[in-house]
Amino acid sequence: MLVRDTSGGYGIVSRLFHWLMAIAIIAMFVLGVWMVGLDYYSPYYNSAPDIHRSVGMLLLFALIVRWLWRAVNVKPSDAELSPVEKTAARAVHWGFYLLLLALLVSGYLISTAGGEPISVFGWFNVPSIFQMRGLESRAGYVHKILAYGVIALAAVHTLAALKHHYVDKTAILKRMWSGPPNS
Amino acid sequence: MKSRIAALAASMSVALLTSLPATAADYVIDTKNAHASITFRIKHLGFSWLTGRFNKFSGNFTFDEKNPDASKVKVEIDTASVDTNHAERDKHLRAADLLATDEFPTATFESTSVKAEGSDKAKITGNLTLHGVTKEITIDAERIGGGKDPWGGYRDGFVGTTELTLADFGIKRDLGPAAKTVELELNIEGIRQ
């Protein structure tokens, strides 16, 4: 099993990043939409946002480490794609990094705008860096829009992957699941 | 020419006469140097008082010590300036299911009548517009003091309290049986103009 990426496909680290973050991001979207509608007397009124904040901070660290990992690895070949598809794929991938970064930072700002830290599952605190009166409401507005944006982009990404797999019959989806051939 | 001077003199004397009995002075509430505050408290689960404040508001009043019933007061509150010392709660208070500050950015109170009770107390009745709903409320007011300030001005100060039922103003969010009403306290010091 290859750890690093090769021109033939993704190593185990990149694949774990991809699938674990994909699961976490979709779960966070569902959790977020659900928790903002909770009744004040719901038993989850406090715990659901606690989990959402904690996972969000872990995702922010994961996103940064993932980007660094990508930067120090060989980029798997996209020779099977048409020029248009290459451009589209690049735009979607960079779109994910930018949207997710903005989404995670805006979420962080909602909770820390008043100076309070975020406790990550009680393991450690992420301190508030920037405080501004009223920032929490503006960050909340941005956070909601970006969350829908990320999910829309994920839908485009999924449809493209399915198209490459079923219509074009390329190994694009397979190599994100099973990794590069040992060679 | 003569008649014009006479007319001018007459109009001046009329202006002078009409202004004489009304000695009620105009005051601007000293929000600039924050000698005024609007605070509220609401019961949390029935276990404790949760306090908060509106940081931005402005207003003015007229006040005549000899004829307090002629007093008037008007206050405008920036609802988005709500502050409970907890950013996430403040965000929720501004949201659509509570104060809906995007839709209703201003709350106003304008008095319609003042009834003095004793030397330093009064009942101030007026219209409060909050969350887009205008409703008559009564504020129990008390004069704290007044007089010359050390910087060449003249000030008068009051405290007023009232209790609001959230549902009366169309705020339907259920915060529990002990949190149907909220108590408001207005501390206002006015600088005579």
pLDDT of the residue at B168: 97
CB contact under 8 A, A111 and B174: no
Cβ of A114 and B176 within 8 Å? no
B104: helix, coil or strand? Answer: coil
Query: What distance lies between CA A163 and its chain's CA centroid?
Result: 22
By CA distance, what is A113's nearest residue in B? Answer: B87
Residue B2 pLDDT exceeds 70: no
- pLDDT tens column, A60-93: 999 999 999 999 999 988 888 899 999 999 999 9
Query: Span B52-80, mean pLDDT?
Result: 96
Distance between CA atoms of A49 and A152, rounded to whole angstroms? 23
CA–CA gap between residue A60 and residue A41 (Å, rounded):
30
Return the pLDDT at A70. 95
Would you call B55 and A133 a contact, using CB atoms and an 8 Å cutoff? yes
Q: What is the average pLDDT across B43-71?
A: 96
pLDDT of A86 reads 92
pLDDT value at residue A143: 98
Distance between CA atoms of residues B68 and B121, nearest Å: 10
Nearest by CB to B90, from A112, A115, A136: name it.
A136
d(CA A35, CA A31): 6
- Considering only CB atoms, B176 lies closest to which of A40, A133, A135, namely A40
Is B88–A111 a contact, with Cβ atoms under 8 angstroms apart? yes
CA distances from B122 to B71, B116, B154 (A): 10, 4, 21
A117 interfaces chain B, CB cutoff of 8 Å: no
- Pairwise CA distance, residues A38 & A51, whole Å: 14
- Partner-chain residue, chosen from B85, B91, B175, that has the shortest CB–CB distance to A137: B91
Q: How far is B55 from chain A (nearest CA, A)?
A: 10
B10: pLDDT confidence band, cut at 50, 70 and 90?
low
In this complex, the residue of B85, B87, B174 whose CB is nearest that of residue A136 is B87
Distances (CA, A) of A23 to A59, A126, A151: 11, 23, 12
Q: Give yes or no for B148 touching A (CB within 8 A).
A: no
* pLDDT value of residue A168: 87
Q: What pLDDT was estimated at residue A77?
A: 87
| DSSP strand pairing (A124-126 vs B25-29) | unpaired
Mean pLDDT over each residue of chain B, to the nearest integer = 91
With an 8 Å Cβ cutoff, are B87 and A40 in contact?
no
Are B55 and B38 within 8 A, CB to CB? no
Which of A39, A112, A114 shows the shortest C-beta gap to B174?
Answer: A39
Q: Which of B42, B82, B91 best tests the A interface by mutation, with the highest count of A CBs <10 A? A: B91
pLDDT digits (tens, 9 = 90+) for A88-120: 999 999 999 999 999 999 999 999 999 999 999
Region A148-177: what's the mean pLDDT? 93
Mean pLDDT of B84-105: 96
> What is the ipTM, given to two decimal places?
0.84
At A58, which amino acid appears? Answer: L
Task: Find the closest chain A residue to B174 by CA distance.
Answer: A40
Q: Is the pLDDT of residue B143 over 50?
A: yes
Residue range B152-177: average pLDDT? 96
pLDDT more than 90, % of chain A: 83
Look at residue A151 and tell me whether its pLDDT is greater than 50: yes
Cα separation, A59 vs A65, whole angstroms:
10
Question: pLDDT for A115-134, tens place per residue?
Answer: 999 999 999 999 999 999 99
Instruction: Give the model's pLDDT for residue B22.
Output: 52
Q: Give CB contacts under 8 A, 24+ apart, made by B15-19.
A: none
Contact call for residues B129 and B105 (beta carbons, < 8 A): no
Q: Is residue A35 predicted with pLDDT exceeding 90?
A: yes
Report the share of chain B in percent with pLDDT over 90: 85
Whether residue B87 and residue A116 make contact (CB cut-off 8 A), yes or no, is: yes
A133 and B173 in contact by Cβ < 8 A? no
For chain A, the average pLDDT equals: 94
- Does residue B181 contact residue B42 with C-beta atoms inside 8 Å? yes
Is A161 a residue whose pLDDT tops 50?
yes
Whether residue B87 lies within 8 A of chain A, CB to CB, comes out as yes
pTM score: 0.84
**Which chain A residues are within 8 Å of B95, Cβ to Cβ?**
137
Res B17: pLDDT: 46
**Are A40 and B94 within 8 A, CB to CB?**
no
Per-residue pLDDT of B120-134, as tens digits, reads 999 999 999 999 999
Rounded to the nearest angstrom, the gap between the alpha carbon of residue B53 and the centroid of all alpha carbons in its chain is 14
Q: How far is A37 from chain B (nearest CA, A)?
A: 10
- What tens digit of pLDDT does each residue of B31-47 get? 999 999 999 999 999 99
B6 has pLDDT over 70: no
pLDDT over 70 at A10, yes or no: yes
Q: Do A110 and B176 touch (CB under 8 A)?
A: no
Among residues B75, B35, B85, B17, the alpha carbon closest in space to that of A131 is found at B85
Closest CA to A89 of A15, A143, A160, A12: A160
Residue A40 at interface with chain B, using a CB cutoff of 8 Å:
yes
Instruction: Give the pLDDT band (50/70/90) at residue B20.
Output: very low
**Could B80 and A39 be called an inter-chain contact, meaning their C-beta atoms sit closer than 8 Å?**
no
